Structure 1
């Protein structure tokens, strides 16, 4: 059966490595979002987005970003510059590493970064959410200069756990042991139960790997929001006309 060619689509990229599974998770979610956006028009493999993934282990130093800033930024700058030669839009599969969004914009690369913090902010505005909990690694939750989410309090009231280090340790444990270890599930559940907000942003790619469900608390996976944003951009024409 002959299929009519689709119009040229933008290429999308993923930077991963902190941790590497996060890039696989984002890719899967992009594929799912692409199917949902196309709906009945989706015909199979030829309608999947073109995706380029760069996985860089040294980006895993992001968990202690203030200590390893120079090394992490060097790896990020090198990776983004190389990736931008192959794609039109890209995302970073790590909430902490989105700290570098402004620095990456300053490089004037030919590809556009879609920031996790930006898609989270847009979601809060769209859903008219005035109060949310922010859950992630300590550099994210402290909303200081190392946090990609430091401007989010302009949009909504932000709650963080009373013990930031407890969640930071949970994230390290998920990286080492996986999210389904019973003690990890129990510790994460206790942390969620201590929140006053009824909505929480999972602003760490390890947290959705923990199979915990709360009847009271609605959790929003920021990776899902990024995947949808990237899938939408993949459906747009590439900048400058046809792809080579």
Structure 2
């Protein structure tokens, strides 16, 4: 269906609409003539960018981020030959135009004055109606030079489109900015025309997950990340399009970390290859679904930093969680390389924040055996019962932190939360929430404001 036909589908005969308003028809003609994609819609009367962003409909949902609403300014100036010239300037709705920069971009000849919009002006009603497609509706046939701030062309995550009015305040059009700029040809150019720049991104932010000890732990980490993204975004959650892009490397060799003190260099060889592979692929946020191998955090960061990527440490996330929640004491449940807080443990600094009750030698042995059981047999009710038995006999602190991914698999298998006077936290879940928050902060900074 062409732009003109789909625009006509938005007419409401119940209120006597039978023909497209002139400016809307002109907008539809622009997209039809240039053969570029667009999507028309209707909304309540919108008088500003903030008002419009609140009322736009996209992907079956009312409201879009302010940065996805196109802000447009129409002004005039006198050039060096004394001719009256018009300029339209466009940026994202969350930006502020800089008149000084606009003047410089137009040659710096004269003051830039906004076209008046009060009732005494012949251009009455232009406020809230300016767009790049139907400018002749407001300025008649006077040529208009159009400036687009480069931020308009940045990828801001799916659906990677912007919206603006279609020439009337109750009509919207969704479009790809790069296609519009290209279609305008010599009538448009890119220019820095805004004040303080918004966060710049060169493309969609991607999360990397390294797993393998056990493979299911990466799946659970991914699920936890998605659940937290959905929770944080709330009403702004758009389903599939709101989930982060994720690349996964499942490395069976990470299973060797169950004997880290005897096989550390062999484990690192396996891990290093996965880290470099994901960084070369362009991952910006790297995570590792394995508590033991976070021992290599410094080595991992030495690689990620050269690619401009960020690696999150699970032990640092748990330490921060304990600090923020004022946890007075906890039992750290994991194999000896983790729960022992010795030289092989990434959690060795946790004791500086809270009192950590150690597991007994018998408890460490039972946890080690249970980890191998889950690797072999998967999650089961028998495994859950063993975990409960270990916790009952080993942990008498107010808080328990599970720091073994095989036990995370068991907790995820649990059908109903067990009643307990103690707080049982899965470190993998704490980690996932921080990964998700980091993604949202990079990909959608407005959500954390």
Scaled by the length of structure 1, what TM-score is found?
0.91
The equivalences for 1:101-120 within 5 A come to: 101-107=297-303, 108-110=305-307, 111-120=309-318
Which residue does 1:91 correspond to in 2? 287
Helix, strand or coil at the partner of 1:34: helix
Helix, strand or coil at the partner of 1:128: coil
Which residue does 1:7 correspond to in 2? 156
The alpha-carbon deviation at position 48 of structure 1 amounts to 1.1
- Checking the alignment, whether the CA contact within 8 Å between 1:84 and 1:109 is kept in structure 2 is no
Mapped pair 1:144 → 2:342: yes
- Checking the alignment, whether the CA contact within 8 Å between 1:7 and 1:237 is kept in structure 2 is no
Please identify which structure carries the higher helix content.
Answer: 1
Which residue does 1:242 correspond to in 2? none
Structure 1 stretch displaced more, 40-49 or 6-15 = 6-15
Mapped pair 1:62 → 2:257: yes
Cα–Cα, structure 1 residues 90 and 23, in superposed 2: closer, same or farther, change >3 Å? same
Q: Gapped runs of 5+ residues in structure 1? A: 239-244
Please identify which structure carries the higher strand content.
Answer: 2
- Which of 180, 185, 188 aligns to 2:387? It is 188
Mapped pair 1:36 → 2:36: no
For the aligned residue pairs, the C-alpha RMSD in angstroms reads: 1.8
The alpha-carbon deviation at position 181 of structure 1 amounts to 4.0
The alpha-carbon deviation at position 213 of structure 1 amounts to 2.9
Residues paired across the two proteins, number: 237
- Which of 372, 383, 407 aligns to 1:207? It is 407
Helix, strand or coil at the partner of 2:424: strand
Helix, strand or coil at the partner of 1:219: strand
* Cα displacement string for residues 184-227 of structure 1 (whole angstroms, at most 9, x for unaligned residues): 33322221112120211111111133338352322101111111
Q: Gapped runs of 5+ residues in structure 2? A: 1-38, 40-57, 69-154, 158-203, 444-449
Between Structure 1 and Structure 2, whose CA radius of gyration is higher? 2
- Checking the alignment, whether the CA contact within 8 Å between 1:88 and 1:112 is kept in structure 2 is yes
- Checking the alignment, whether the CA contact within 8 Å between 1:199 and 1:218 is kept in structure 2 is yes
